[in-house]
Structure 1
Amino acid sequence: MSQTRMMSGIEAATNVIIGYVLAVLMQLLIFPAVGLDLSLRQAMQIGVAFTACSLIRSYALRRVFNRLRG
């Protein structure tokens, strides 16, 4: 069974949202443990950068693998 475009969009959006929340939470937990203190706002800003990098990486890899598949 193939996935509809709508469900693919919902899956992608859910993945991005969960990834963003995890990035922020992990920063708030890990950064202080290594001596880096940051505010929630700073963690959210860094989370946006991590999320953007993840989206670009995911898109590029998908395109490469689609090209390899032929």
Structure 2
Amino acid sequence: MQSRLASLVEAAVNVAIGFVVALLTQMALFPAMGVRLSMDRHLLIGAVFTLVSLARSGVAGGR
């Protein structure tokens, strides 16, 4: 059985990897669609979508 700390670390790593993958994807896709953004805007968009994903999964909602 996995400890609570190991579960927390696993969840944090999954979120971090997902954020980086999403960020790299939008940085490649947006310019191809004619959308040019600064790095701080890319980070903001990635953070918003990460928070939405966490809320949707129930993590941020305390489930």
**TM-score range for the pair, normalised by the shorter chain length:** 0.7 to 0.9
Q: State the identity as a percent.
A: 48
Give distance in 1, aligned partners of 2:19 and 2:40.
13
What TM-score do the two structures reach when normalised by structure 2? 0.86
State the Cα distance separating 1:32 from its structure 2 match: 0.6
* Unaligned runs of at least 5 residues, structure 1: 64-70
Q: After the TM superposition, list the runs of 4 or more consecutive aligned residues in structure 1 that deviate by more than 6 angstroms.
A: none
User: Is 1:18 aligned to residue 17 of structure 2?
Assistant: yes
Q: Deviations over 1:34-65 (max 9, x none)?
A: 111111111000000010011111117xx5xx
* Greater percentage in helix: 1
C-alpha separation in 2, matches of 1:15 and 1:58: 13
The separation in 2 between residues aligned to 1:24 and 1:4, in whole angstroms, is 30
Give 1:67's aligned residue.
Answer: none
CA RMSD of aligned residues (A): 1.3
Q: Number of residue pairs matched? A: 60
TM-score for the superposition, normalised by structure 1: 0.78
